[in-house]
Structures are given as C-alpha cells and as structure tokens.
C-alpha cells in the first residue's frame, strides 16, 4: 500500500498535473488569467495530431496483434455498458429526471481525449510502455455511449420531440473533428512509421509536454469556472456520482484490460478511458438528440468534477494499480 501511494505521489507531481492545478486555482481565486480561445484550439489540434501520430508509429514498429481487435471490442463494449451503470446509479442516488440521467450517462460512457493524452504522457514520463493502438481504442469509444443513452431516454418514456436522432447527427458524431484528426494522424503514423517520425520528431516529440502543460493550464481554468458554478446545479448525490463513477468505470476498464492481457501501461490507459467523461463530442450530440435535458448538469459534472478528479487522483491511482497488478 505504501508503494502504491508513493507511485501515485510521483505521478501527481508532474509539470502537467501541477499546471492543471494552477489553472484550477486561478479560476477559483477569480484571477484574470486566461488562454485565448484560438490558442487553446490550436494546442488541442497539435496534441491530437501528435498523440495519434505517435500511436500509429508505435503500431508500425511493433505490428498489429490479436490484442488490438480484443482491445477495440472491449473498449466498445465498455462504452455501450457504462451508460447503463451510470443511469442506474444516477436514478438511485439523485433526483435527476430519466432524460437528464440519460444525458449524463452518455457523457460517462464516452471518453475525454484530453484525459487520455495526459495519462499517455504521464506513462511516458514514468518510462511505462503502453500499446500504441490504444489511440484507436480511444476513438472507437467516443460514440457507442450515445446510442445507449438515447435508448435509455426512449425506454424511460421520452415524449415525442424529446429524443431526436437522425442520419445527420450520426454523421456529426462519427466524423467529429477530434475523431477525424486522431484517427487520421494515427493512420499517417502507421503508414510512415519511424522514418516519418524522424522527419517531424522535433515538432511532435520535444515540444509535446510543454504544450500539454499550457493546454492543461487552460483546462484547469475551464474546470475551475465549472466548479464555481457547480453548487448552483449540483446536489450532494450528483457530486458523489461524479467521484464514484470514474472509480467504477476504471474498475470495469481494469477488468477488460486483465481479460485481454494488456500491459500495465495499456491497462492504465484502458482504466483512464473507462473512467473519463466526454465534455466535447457528447455535449454537442446531446443538445441535438436530447434537447430537453439540462446541459449544465452533465457539463458541470464531466468538466468540473470528474475531469479534475481523474487528472489529480485518478490517473496516478490507475497507473499505480495497473503496475501493482500487472507489473512493469
């Protein structure tokens, strides 16, 4: 247990996590510190490209194995199933309506790519190897949760007009910018391999952690602002859910990782994916599909509670648990 805490402590004291904490503090203390919206968007494009490209290069170097298909299927199954668990918990622990609970559940079944990028970087900094194809698993886990949530909303008696799903929304979900960029960069990395990386490594490797620090500083500010408004929309039950759900999700992710036989790094990433909640792709999809659901509850929970929890305590804990159970 002492070793576990020591590992978690080491993972916590990284420039990335501390930058996030700085942003969180600045927002809560109502500092005027802010990152221009366009700069934040540019940094997110850079991070998605870099993480996708490096994942592709890793796959090109080690080749594909049977674990890739198993990890993809495991990730998709998690994304379908986690909303069912989240919905049940929300209905038991809170007074949220079925529609609001379904919308929140969609966020928790999908993933936060920023949390995934941070976990990947923390693992690299610790010298813990992980499967490069986890980038593709992350992309595959974005959408299935939306299907589960819409089914939950419809099953719970969503009236006509409360649940709206059409081909155009599917197109927007499956081809949203972050998925296209992540998968595209992954394929570019897989095709060009080490030779491709050698040509652009000064751009995608060396500056990566510094850019991530600035991006997480901004995310800390965003999360801090979310936390400031949290007390207006979040009850104690909903708050407890925001902490409990990532732990349950990570436990399910660990189970899938053990079943598949992922490395310690791969297991930590699968736990992180299962524990994280979407706050970019799913909120937009839910506004179209479930317009009557209250967007402030799900966004505040995902961004103001679960995202900071995963970054500060979750990722270090998931990494430590995966290492303790699977080894180096």
Partner 1 sequence: MQTHSAKRVEILIEAPLELRLTDALEAAGIKGFSVLPVLGGAGRSGRWSREGQVGRTGMVAIICVIRPERLDTLLEAAFAVVKPHIGMVSIGDVQVLRAERF
Q: What is the contact surface with partner 1 in residues (CB under 8 A)?
A: 34, 161-162, 164, 168, 172, 221-222, 225-226, 232, 279-281, 283-285, 287-288, 291-292, 294-296, 299, 303
* Alpha-carbon distances of 226 from 104, 193, 264, rounded to whole Å: 15, 40, 33
Cα–Cα distance measured from residue 71 to residue 1, given in angstroms and rounded to the nearest whole number: 29
Cα–Cα distance measured from residue 113 to residue 45, given in angstroms and rounded to the nearest whole number: 12
Distance of closest approach, residue 143 Cβ to partner 1, in angstroms: 15
Contact 270, 76 (CB under 8 A): no
Closer CB to partner 1, 173 or 252, in the complex: 173
Distance of closest approach, residue 96 Cβ to partner 1, in angstroms: 15
Closer CB to partner 1, 172 or 201, in the complex: 172
Distance of closest approach, residue 235 Cβ to partner 1, in angstroms: 16
Distance of closest approach, residue 326 Cβ to partner 1, in angstroms: 33
Cα–Cα distance measured from residue 283 to residue 273, given in angstroms and rounded to the nearest whole number: 17
Closer CB to partner 1, 34 or 156, in the complex: 34
Distance of closest approach, residue 229 Cβ to partner 1, in angstroms: 8
Distance of closest approach, residue 204 Cβ to partner 1, in angstroms: 23
Contact 48, 138 (CB under 8 A): no
Nearby residues of 250 by Cβ (< 8 Å), 6 or more positions away: 271, 272, 274, 275, 314, 317, 318, 321
Neighbours of 259 (CB within 10 A): 10
Nearby residues of 98 by Cβ (< 8 Å), 6 or more positions away: 91, 152, 153, 156, 157, 158
Closest CA to 48 of 147, 176, 171: 176
Closer CB to partner 1, 8 or 163, in the complex: 163
Closer CB to partner 1, 21 or 256, in the complex: 21
Closer CB to partner 1, 54 or 225, in the complex: 225
Distance of closest approach, residue 301 Cβ to partner 1, in angstroms: 14
Token digits of residue 167: 């081909």
Distance of closest approach, residue 324 Cβ to partner 1, in angstroms: 33
The dihedral over CA atoms of 201, 38, 291, 241, expressed in degrees to the nearest 10, equals 60
3-class secondary-structure state, position 162: coil
Closer CB to partner 1, 227 or 271, in the complex: 227
């Amino acid at each position: 247990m002492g070793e576990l805490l020591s590992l978690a402590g080491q993972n916590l004291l990284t420039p990335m996590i501390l930058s996030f904490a700085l942003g969180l503090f600045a927002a809560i203390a109502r500092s005027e510190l802010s990152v221009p919206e366009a700069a934040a968007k540019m940094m997110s494009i850079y991070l998605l490209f870099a993480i996708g490209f490096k994942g592709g290069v890793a796959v090109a170097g080690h080749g594909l194995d049977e674990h890739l298909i198993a990890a993809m299927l495991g990730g998709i199954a998690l994304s379908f199933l986690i909303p069912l668990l989240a919905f049940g918990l929300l209905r038991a622990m809170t007074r949220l309506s079925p529609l609001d609970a379904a919308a929140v559940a969609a966020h928790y079944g999908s993933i936060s790519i920023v949390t995934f990028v941070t976990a990947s970087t923390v693992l690299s900094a610790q010298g813990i190897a992980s499967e490069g194809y986890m980038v593709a698993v992350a992309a595959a886990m974005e959408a299935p949760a939306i299907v589960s949530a819409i089914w939950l909303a419809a099953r719970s008696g969503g009236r006509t007009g409360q649940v709206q799903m059409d081909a155009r929304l599917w197109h927007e979900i499956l081809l949203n910018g972050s998925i296209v960029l992540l998968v595209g960069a992954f394929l570019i990395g897989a095709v060009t391999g080490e030779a491709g990386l050698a040509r652009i490594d000064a751009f995608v490797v060396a500056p990566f952690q510094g850019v991530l620090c600035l991006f997480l500083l901004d995310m800390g500010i965003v999360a801090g602002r979310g936390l400031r408004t949290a007390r207006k929309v979040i009850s104690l039950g909903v708050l407890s859910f925001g902490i409990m759900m990532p732990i349950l999700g990570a436990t399910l992710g660990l189970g899938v990782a053990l079943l598949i036989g992922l490395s310690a790094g791969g297991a930590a990433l699968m736990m992180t994916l299962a524990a994280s909640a979407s706050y970019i792709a799913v909120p937009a999809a839910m506004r179209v599909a479930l317009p009557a659901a209250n967007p402030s509850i799900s966004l505040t929970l995902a961004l103001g509670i679960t995202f900071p929890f995963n970054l500060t305590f979750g990722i270090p804990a998931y990494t430590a648990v995966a290492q303790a159970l699977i080894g180096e």
